[in-house]
Amino acid sequence: MGNDSGSPQGPVTSGSWIRRPENLNLVVLGKSRRGSSCPSLLEIFYFDPKTTSLSTSPLTTYVLEAEEGDPVAIAVHPSGDDFVCALSNGSCKLFELYGRETNLKLLAKELVPLQDIGRQNCITFSVDGSKFAAGGLDGHLRIMEWPGMRMILDEPRAHKSIRDMDFSLGSEFLASTSDGLARIWNIEDGVLLSTLSRNSDEKIELCRFSKDGTKPFLFCSVQKGDTSVIAVYDISTWNKIGHKKLIRKSASVMSISHDGKYLSLGSKDGDICVVEVKKMQIHHYSRRLHLGTNISSLEFCPRERVVLTTSVEWGALVTKLTVPKDWKEWQIYLVLLGLFLASAIAFYIFFENSDSFWNFPMGKDQPARPRFKPMISDPQSYDDQNIWGPVDM
C-alpha cells in the first residue's frame, strides 16, 4: 500500500500494528496534511495474512483538526485496545478502539500531563503496558505509569534531542539515544544509571533490548565513519561484548520481534535487513524496498513473520519475511502425541515379551509364562488345592 501521486491524502508519517483478539491484526497509519483541502488523518486497516496485504480501504478514519497538526509518532498499547499519537503541535492524544472490526470507531481523549509539552520524536509503551515514555525534540525525557499517569522520571536535560528509546523486557530499564550517546535509566528509582562506553569516532544512534527472555542484551546501531555496525552490550555490566556489520548504509530505524527471535534494521536508502538474534545471521534482506528513501518506521507483526515499513515517499508497505517457518501450537501437540503413542507401543511390546514386569525379556531356555492369567479363579479348583484338609474341633 503506497502513496498514490494522484491521491488526495497526504504522505504517511507513521504506522504501527494493533494486536486484536481472535488472531486479528490491524494497522494504524498516520497521514500528514496536504494543502488546505486534505486534512491530517489516522486510518485503521485490516491485515490479511493469506495475501500479506492491507485492506484497500480503511475500517475507520479519524480526521485531525488543523490546530492539532500532523501525526509524528504512534505507540500502541500491548492490549490492542488503545494507542497514543504524538502530534506536531506538541501534544499527545489517546485514541480508544470501540466496536467490532466491521463497525470500528476511534474515540479521542486528551492526556493532560502530555498537553503542550513540545514535539515528541518518539513514544513507547513497556512490554507489559504498565509504563509509558515520551522523548522530546528538546531532549526532555518523561517516564510515567500507565494508565495512572503518575510521573516516574521527568528529566528536562536527558539529551540535546532524543532520537530513539526502548524499555527492557522486565521494565527495569529504559535506553535512550541522542547525539551519538546512549544512556540507561533505572525506572524504579527514576535516575540515570549509566552512559554506554564508545570510541571517540563512534556514534550510537538506535537501541533495542533483547526480548527473548534468555539473553539480557542491548543492541545499538553504531555509526563509525561510513560504516554502520550493530554493537551488543551486556546489561549486567553495560559493557560492549561484540559488534557486527549488517547493512551497507546508516540505519534509520530498528525493531525487534515480539518473541525476541529476530532483529530488523531499516536503512536511509530504503533497505531492510532481518537477522536471527541467537546467531546474528542474516535471514532476510530486501534491497530498495523504499527506493532511495529514508525508512521512517519499521515494526514486526505480532503474530506473523511480516514487517510493516513506512516512508514519506512510498507510504506503507507490508513485507513477508523469508525466514524459517515457526512451529505451530497444534504441530507441537501432534509431535507430543506421537511420542506418547510410540512410548505406549514400546512398553506394550516389552511387557508382552517378558516373564515378569521387572525382568528383562526371557532368555532362550527360560520357560514362557502364560500370555493371559484368569482374573477370577474357579472356587472348586481352589478347594482342591487346600493342603491343610479338614480340621478336627
**Do residues 298 and 272 make contact, with C-beta atoms less than 8 angstroms apart?**
yes
Q: What is the pLDDT of residues 141-200, one digit of tens each?
A: 999 999 999 999 999 999 999 999 999 999 999 999 998 999 999 999 999 999 999 988
Split into its structural domains, the chain has a count of 2
Q: How many Cα neighbours within 13 Å face the side chain of 267? A: 25
Q: Is residue 378 part of a domain?
A: no
Range of the domain at 67: 12-327
371, pLDDT greater than 70:
no
Q: What is the pLDDT of residues 42-93, one digit of tens each?
A: 999 999 999 999 999 999 999 999 999 999 999 999 999 999 999 999 999 9
In this prediction, residue 393 carries a pLDDT of 42
Residue 38, strand partner residues: 34
In this prediction, residue 338 carries a pLDDT of 79
Q: Is residue 192 part of a domain?
A: yes
101 and 250 together in one domain: yes
Q: What is the pLDDT of residues 314-356, one digit of tens each?
A: 999 999 999 877 545 555 667 677 787 888 787 777 766 665 5
**Do residues 267 and 250 make contact, with C-beta atoms less than 8 angstroms apart?**
yes
257, pLDDT greater than 80:
yes
The length of the chain is 393
Q: Is residue 387 part of a domain?
A: no
- pTM over 0.85? The answer is no
171 and 193 together in one domain: yes
Name the band, by pLDDT with cuts 50, 70 and 90, for residue 104: very high
Nearest alpha-carbon partner for 46 in 33, 59, 34, 62: 59
390, pLDDT greater than 80:
no
In this prediction, residue 7 carries a pLDDT of 45
Which residue carries 529476530 as its cell? 262
CA 143, CA 152: separation in Å to the nearest integer? 5
248-253 CB contacts, 8 Å cutoff, 24+ apart: 250/205, 250/221, 250/223, 251/205, 251/206, 251/221, 252/294, 252/295, 252/296, 253/206, 253/295, 253/296, 253/297, 253/298
302 and 368 together in one domain: no
